[in-house]
Structure 1
Amino acid sequence: MKQRTTSALTVGGMALNQPIVRKKAVSELVVQRVLDLIKDGQLIAGEKLPSERDLAGILDVSRPTVREALRALSILGVLEIRHGGGVFVTSLEAGELLNPLDFFVSLNPQNMFELFDARIEYEPMIAAIVATRISNEDLTHLQELLDAQLADPDDANTFHDTDVEFHKTLLDASGNVFLSRVGKMLQFLGDQGRRVLQKENQVRRQSIADHQAIMAALHARDAQAAEKAMRQHMINVRNALKEATGA
């Protein structure tokens, strides 16, 4: 498919290459700009986006900001990131996939707690399922992520990236695309809260210890232990959030 020039992409009188106005978190604005273009039909299924570097220049934002926005849209299934091949609009029905973003932009401290309450119920169920069906390949990958966290627990950025990948891998290992998609949506919605918490060394170290307990259960293929370990992990994260906000 021939890629259109960025100047040809306009929605509501706004072009993709119109600089981002920083009234919200910049990554949220990048997400919204891409979503608006998809909703308006300016970006269509299968179409390739400009490169990460080009998007950063077009929008006048940093490459890490673009990377964060693209990853968020990928987690929600709106975009597909093909390593070495670029970023494409998903072939799935975009309209059905964009609804979670309406809730995302309305998150506040109160419903952030409710979000973690949902994860406390949801992710232990996933962990129990995964314990009985995880592949050796996924198990090895999870262990590598945990090993990276153990090797440098003081690096908040490394922890964040490996933490996101750890939970994403667990969801995919469920073997159920619907369970995985819902779980990724919940994780994405809670990412900003997690970023704040993960700056705290004590919170990171507790999460790493939690991941060790989860991995021990997965290695043992023990569904009950995996469910219990994941539930405690989610409770620990929610409690840390409450302590950090004083709620």
Structure 2
Amino acid sequence: MEEIFMRHSKKTMDKSSDNLYRQIVDDIKDAIREGRLQAGDVLPSERELAQYYDISRVPVREALKILEFLGAVEQVRGKGVFVKKIKMRHVLDHIDFMIEDPMLALLDLFEAREAIEIQAVHLAAERRTADDIEAMEAAVTEMKINIDMGKEVNVASVKFHNAVIESAHNLVLTKINGYLSDLLRLSRHYSLKNPGRHEVALNYHQQILQAIVKQDARSAVDLMREHLAVARKVIQTQLKS
């Protein structure tokens, strides 16, 4: 499959563009659509893709991360990157949405998050249970440990925000959050890309948790709104760079 993919004539890369990774994602998306890559197939290695497109590994690595966050591929340690065995139409719809204008998509996502998470944190402060508090505390602890060990914090951050939404005990909010999970993972990839942001995010999570524990809905809402606004500015800066 690698040979088939590599032999096929690729799109001409606009190397003057700052968004080479988007062109790679678009090309791999077309390979999936045209059947050159199918569920279960392994992609060429990062080095081979860089040679294939005649570019550095940096945009290739970024493209593979985006494809993984959007659910199109899965990295298996020691074996490579595989096209996921899922409904590809669903994945491609997500990719089209992101590649059309990723900045607009991610910035619009924050407007949606404000509608969802600010309401969720308000309800969480009123409805949280002992189990809910335990789940949020576990996510905060995991995030702190990962920071201390110099590890990625994206997963722990996702767990915290999911726990807040679960604490609202509103089925619709939970379902909407699940639907946006792919975009949310990509969003956190950018907002937490800089390790210097990790402590800032952790501090917000700790304060939000304290407000929820105290059932101080007003403070919880204010902190969540500020947390999302700060992350949105980081996303905006990252996508312009």
**TM-score interval for Structure 1 and Structure 2 normalised by the shorter chain:** 0.5 to 0.7
Residues 38/221 of structure 1: CA separation in 2 closer, same or farther (3 Å cut): farther
SS of 2:180 mapped into structure 1: helix
> Which residue identity is paired with 1:107?
D
Instruction: Return the alpha-carbon distance in structure 1 between the equivalents of residues 66 and 99 of structure 2.
Output: 13
1:8 aligns with 2:1: no
SS of 1:81 mapped into structure 2: strand
> Which residue identity is paired with 2:5?
L
SS of 1:29 mapped into structure 2: helix
Q: Which residue of 1, 21, 35 corresponds with 2:14?
A: 21
My pick for the range that moved more, 39-48 or 133-142, is 133-142
Instruction: Return the alpha-carbon distance in structure 1 between the equivalents of residues 22 and 134 of structure 2.
Output: 36
TM-score (structure 1 length as normaliser): 0.64
Instruction: Return the alpha-carbon distance in structure 2 between the equivalents of residues 170 and 60 of structure 1.
Output: 40
> Which residue identity is paired with 1:40?
E
Match of 1:167 in 2: 157
Match of 2:169 in 1: none
| Residues 7-58 of structure 1: CA deviation (Å, up to 9, x unaligned) | 42279x634xx77432351221221121111111110011111223333333
> Which residue identity is paired with 1:60?
D
Would the aligned equivalents of 1:48 and 1:87 in 2 still touch at CA under 8 Å?
Answer: yes
Shift of 1:224: 6.2
Would the aligned equivalents of 1:76 and 1:185 in 2 still touch at CA under 8 Å?
Answer: yes
TM-score (structure 2 length as normaliser): 0.65
Match of 1:143 in 2: 141
Unmatched segments (≥5 aa) in structure 2:
167-173
Aligned residues: 224
Match of 2:181 in 1: 183
Residues 126/90 of structure 1: CA separation in 2 closer, same or farther (3 Å cut): farther
Unmatched segments (≥5 aa) in structure 1:
153-157
Instruction: Return the alpha-carbon distance in structure 2 between the equivalents of residues 88 and 223 of structure 1.
Output: 46
% identical aligned pairs: 23
Match of 1:84 in 2: 78
Would the aligned equivalents of 2:106 and 2:183 in 1 still touch at CA under 8 Å?
Answer: no
Residues 210/54 of structure 1: CA separation in 2 closer, same or farther (3 Å cut): same
Match of 1:155 in 2: none
> Which residue identity is paired with 1:167?
S
Match of 2:116 in 1: 122
